[in-house]
Structure formats: structure tokens, C-alpha cells
Structure 1
């Protein structure tokens, strides 16, 4: 098993990276990116609010 991973692990990782690049170039990739940006933005806002940056509460 160890030799299999040593031999084909690089191929699997390369295939995953290529797949991510291809998906990122499609409209689906744009949708995923927008979702990630939105989630990070909401998390940043929530953390700022919890640290006293803004006392208003938004759902």
C-alpha cells in the first residue's frame, strides 16, 4: 500500500489540482467563489461585532 501511494499519490494530487482549476474556470466555480467570499465576509463581520466593533445585531 505504501508503494502504491508513493507511486500514484502524485498522480492523484495532480488530478485533484487540475480538477479544481477546471471547475474554477466554469460558471460553477464562480458560484462557489461567491459563496466562499460571502461566508468569509459574514464571519469577519461576526468576529468584528463580537470584539466590540459594531453593537448592532443583524440576522
Structure 2
């Protein structure tokens, strides 16, 4: 597995190439790669967010039966 810096560098380059290798897009692509890395790291450390099992189940706790 690549180091944090190598992962970000590689991802930023991929994003920059998709943007047409415009010099003015370099910082934006780097920032996006950092954000993606941090988001992925956070999820791997804490796990994905759990969904509320009552949402969409048809139960309405405010409704009387």
C-alpha cells in the first residue's frame, strides 16, 4: 500500500489529467485528492455510517395505532 503522500500524489495526478492538465487546476486537484484520502481514512478508522433501521420501514413513532 502506498504512503499517504504517494496516494495523494497519484490521485491528484489522475484528477489533473482528467481536467486536461491545466496548470490552474493543479491546486484544486491536490486539495480534492487530500479530501478523498481523509474521507477514506476516516471511514476505514470508524467504519461506514450506519443507517437508521426505522427510516423507510413504514413505522411512524408519532402515529397512534
TM-score normalised by length of structure 1: 0.41
TM-score normalised by length of structure 2: 0.38
- Tell me which protein shows more helix as a share of its residues: 1
